[in-house]
Amino acid sequence: MMILRVQVLLALEEVKYSRGDDAAVWKIICKTEYRRCAVKECYETMKHVMRRIIKNDSFEMGIFLSIFEEIDASIIQGRFTSTFTLRALPEVHARILDLIDVLLKQPTPKDLQKVIILVYGECGFFV
């Protein structure tokens, strides 16, 4: 587990300074097989967690589904680097880790407020 964590952090650090296109970013991510797998697993896990914690028919679920659809489409169409601010990725990652920390303990009302701030803060990722 530690090697996957390190690989995600290394990828985030290298990608945030990339001025290249999607191919250049993917080359950074694919630097090692561990890194490629770690980045993909992190993204898929984040999608799974968000789908589990947000009420299915809610406005918030619609927002997150739209975000995930846009991320997936931009990756497929080779426009991820022109659609999203890469230097924001480490901040998004940090907020997700904070969210997971809150969710792993018995949340208090104050913790739930923090979750709302963390979740809505994720939307600053678009260019």
pLDDT reported for residue 1: 64
- Decide if pLDDT at 126 tops 80: no
| Mean predicted lDDT score pLDDT of the chain | 84
Would you list the domain boundaries of the chain? 2-125
**Distance, CA of 31 to CA of 6 (rounded, Å):** 13
**Looking at residue 99, what DSSP letter applies?**
H
- Decide if pLDDT at 119 tops 70: no
- Decide if pLDDT at 121 tops 70: no
**Distance, CA of 122 to CA of 49 (rounded, Å):** 14
* Residue-wise pLDDT tens digits, 61-103: 888 899 899 999 999 999 999 998 888 888 888 887 887 787 7
Percentage of residues of the chain with pLDDT beyond 90: 35
* Residue-wise pLDDT tens digits, 86-97: 888 888 888 878
- Torsion angle of alpha carbons 29, 34, 37, 41, nearest 10°? -110
As a whole number, mean pLDDT of residues 45-50 equals 86
pLDDT reported for residue 5: 82
- Decide if pLDDT at 127 tops 50: no
> What number of other Cβ atoms are within 10 A of residue 5's Cβ?
12
